[in-house]
Amino acid sequence: MHTVPSIRALHALRALTRLTASASKYTPAIPRAVSSPLQLALRPHHRTFSTTPSLSVTLNQLRTRLGSRKPKKLRHAVSPALSAAKRPAMKGVCLKVGITKPKKPNSGQRKTAKVRLSSGRVVSAYIPGEGHNVQQHSVVLVRGGRSQDCPGVRYHLVRGAFDLSVQIRYQEAEDDMIADCAF
Q: How far is Cα of residue 82 from the mean position of the Cα atoms in its chain?
A: 17
| Per-residue pLDDT at 71 | 74
Q: What are phi and psi of 176, to 5 degrees?
A: -65, -40
pLDDT per residue of the chain (183 residues) written in tens, 0 to 9: 556 667 777 777 677 666 443 434 555 555 555 556 656 555 655 566 666 666 677 777 777 766 566 777 888 888 988 988 889 999 999 999 999 999 999 999 999 999 999 999 999 999 999 889 999 999 999 999 999 999 999 999 999 999 999 887 766 667 777 777 765
Nearest residue to 150 (alpha-carbon basis) of 107, 114, 89: 107
Dihedral of the alpha carbons of 162, 167, 169, 174, in degrees to the nearest 10: -30
| Per-residue pLDDT at 83 | 87
The domain limits of the chain are 7-66, 80-171
Taking CA atoms, 150 is separated from 41, 102, 111, in Å, by 72, 5, 10
| Per-residue pLDDT at 38 | 56
| Per-residue pLDDT at 158 | 96
Please determine, looking at this structure, whether the domain spanning 80-171 carries the CATH number 3.30.200.20: no
